[in-house]
Structure 1
Amino acid sequence: MAIITLTTDFGLKDHFVGALKGSIYKELSDAKIVDISHNISPFNIQECAYILENSYKNFPEGSVHIVGVDSEPTPENQHIAVLVDGHFFVSANNGVIGLITSEFKPEKVVQINIPNPENGSFPVMDVFVKVACHIARGGTLDVVGKSFDDLKDLRGFSPTVTDNGKKIIGSVIYIDNYGNVVTNIHKKFFEAYRKGRNFELNARTTKIHRIYNKYSDIINFNVEKGKRKGAGDLMALFNAAEYIELAIYKSDLNTVGGASTLLGLDYRDAVTINFE
């Protein structure tokens, strides 16, 4: 039986997550359920897309991923089920799987049309659970809907290039638990325009001229401890997802602060790179 994952903006205070899991167990008593996150910022499609893209690939092929963000159906926000990169996604057509479908062509997309659907205010439980459980049992997408060819892209995610390739204008797409600031500038995109040139990364009044490959690269172990960079110092790196991230090495957002608070950066704030 396939794994069913849950990614939502429901939080953990209310009853929604428990009710959602209960409804899955009611359909499949031996279901395998994994929480990816329930702390997506409300209706934040870009944040959800980033987390989903960087988590689904660690699950076995055939896993079913329920996405409960901006899930209320409208004529412009249809319910869909998608098979892409060997995984099934049950979601609204709001662009949330856009990062995945920009890299892999979907094998099949259907608009969900199940018999006697509930038309309440909790479509993730009323519709998505039924579809996910059907797939987890080995059911096909043809049973839950008809082919659909109007899959939305993730708008506003890609950075832009100006000044004849001399400047990349990106933005903050995610702030993690450590206060690290993730931008939408991918390593491949950066290197494609860099072409070996020197650069200056600007985030508000901060200027950075080097990007590391891992956090501990900021430390020069050939320098004595009292004189080298380390905990509390600002750095830029290509994170595990290969996006440019700004971080305070070994920071604690709840005590000394993280890159987001110390640099004054928030979701959608601009980060620019100028090539020399």
Structure 2
Amino acid sequence: MAIITLTTDFGEKDYFAGAVKGAIYSELSDIKIVDISHSVSPFHISEAAYIIKNAYKSFPKGSIHIIGIDSELTPENKHLAVRLDDHYFICANNGILSLLASEIRPEKIVEINIHDKIQSNFPVLDVFVKVACHISRGGTLEVIGKSVSEIKHLKQFEPLINSEKDQILGHVIYIDNYGNVITNISRKLFETVGKGREFKISARRLSFSEIYETYSHAINFNIEKEKRKEEDGKKLAVFNSAGYIELAMYKSNPSSVGGAASLFGLEYLDTVTINFQ
């Protein structure tokens, strides 16, 4: 039986996440449920997309992913069930699918149409759970929805390249638990545009001229620890594990000395520019 994952902005205080799990177990007592995150900022579509896009690939093919972000059904916010990269995603048509499918074309998209059979003001609990359990039992998408090809796109999250091909204009799309700042500039895009040229990354008053492979590569361990001028708190740019350029502080702690976001003065959607020479 497939795994069902949950990614929501429900938090840990309220009953919502627990109720969703209970509803799934009521239909499929032997199912496996995995919490990817319930700490997505409320209604934060790009944050949720970044989390699920980089988490789902670690799950077995055929896994079912419920995304409970901005999921209220409205005439402008329909519900979708999608087969993508041999995984299933159940979410609202609020732009999150375009972020998940930016590199891989969906194999099948249906607009869920079972709402007339369900009385609900909690669509993740009632509608999304019903769809996930249907898929887990081997049901097809056509049974619970009609095929569609058009989805809502969020173009503002795509980096821009100037006509001279010597500049990438990106943005902050995510700030992680350590306060590190993740941009929407992928390593693949950086290498394709940069072609090995020297570069300068600029964000507010900050600049970086080197990108490290790992956080620890920013530290010269050949120098005795007591003689190193910078270690904890060193600013750096790194290719993170998800393949994006990240601006970070080495071993930062947002609850004490602060993280990169607060110390750099960077926030969601702030501009990050790379100029090549």
> Aligning the two structures, in what range does the TM-score lie when normalised by the shorter sequence?
over 0.9
Structure 1 equivalent of residue 10 of structure 2:
10
* Cα offset, 1:115, TM superposition: 6.3
* Cα offset, 1:243, TM superposition: 0.4
Matched, 1:48 2:48: yes
Structure 2 equivalent of residue 257 of structure 1:
258
* Partner Cα separation in structure 1 for residue 237 and residue 20 of structure 2: 39
Worse-matched range after superposition: 118-127 or 104-113: 118-127
Q: TM-score, normalised by structure 1?
A: 0.96
Give the match's secondary structure for 2:153: coil
Matched, 1:148 2:148: yes
- Partner deviation per Cα, 1:161-181 (whole Å, 9 max, x = no partner): 236222211111000000000
Give the match's secondary structure for 2:156: coil
- Partner deviation per Cα, 1:100-151 (whole Å, 9 max, x = no partner): 3222221111111126433432111110000001111111111111111112
* Partner Cα separation in structure 1 for residue 104 and residue 117 of structure 2: 31
* Partner Cα separation in structure 2 for residue 89 and residue 195 of structure 1: 36
Structure 1 equivalent of residue 241 of structure 2:
240
Q: How does 1:31-46 map to 2 (within 5 A)?
A: 31-46=31-46
AA of the residue aligned to 1:13: K
Matched, 1:75 2:75: yes
Structure 2 equivalent of residue 122 of structure 1:
122
* Partner Cα separation in structure 2 for residue 110 and residue 163 of structure 1: 37
* Partner Cα separation in structure 2 for residue 102 and residue 117 of structure 1: 33
Give the match's secondary structure for 2:272: strand
Matched, 1:208 2:208: yes
AA of the residue aligned to 2:242: A
Superposed CA RMSD in Å reads 1.4
* Cα offset, 1:207, TM superposition: 1.0
Q: TM-score, normalised by structure 2?
A: 0.95
* Partner Cα separation in structure 1 for residue 82 and residue 12 of structure 2: 27
* Partner Cα separation in structure 1 for residue 14 and residue 2 of structure 2: 27
**Aligned residues of 1:174 and 1:267 also touching (Cα < 8 A):** yes
AA of the residue aligned to 2:244: Y
* Partner Cα separation in structure 2 for residue 115 and residue 107 of structure 1: 24
- Partner deviation per Cα, 1:222-248 (whole Å, 9 max, x = no partner): 223213542210110010011000111
* Cα offset, 1:154, TM superposition: 3.4
**Aligned residues of 2:238 and 2:245 also touching (Cα < 8 A):** yes
Structure 2 equivalent of residue 132 of structure 1:
132
**Aligned residues of 1:234 and 1:249 also touching (Cα < 8 A):** yes
AA of the residue aligned to 1:237: V
* Partner Cα separation in structure 1 for residue 64 and residue 165 of structure 2: 40
Worse-matched range after superposition: 144-153 or 132-141: 144-153
* Cα offset, 1:53, TM superposition: 0.5
Give the match's secondary structure for 2:155: coil
**Aligned residues of 1:84 and 1:104 also touching (Cα < 8 A):** yes
Runs of 4+ in 1 over 6 A off after TM superposition: none
* Partner Cα separation in structure 2 for residue 42 and residue 117 of structure 1: 28
**Aligned residues of 1:113 and 1:144 also touching (Cα < 8 A):** yes
Q: Aligned residues, how many?
A: 276
**Aligned residues of 2:97 and 2:151 also touching (Cα < 8 A):** no
Worse-matched range after superposition: 92-101 or 237-246: 92-101
Matched, 1:99 2:99: yes
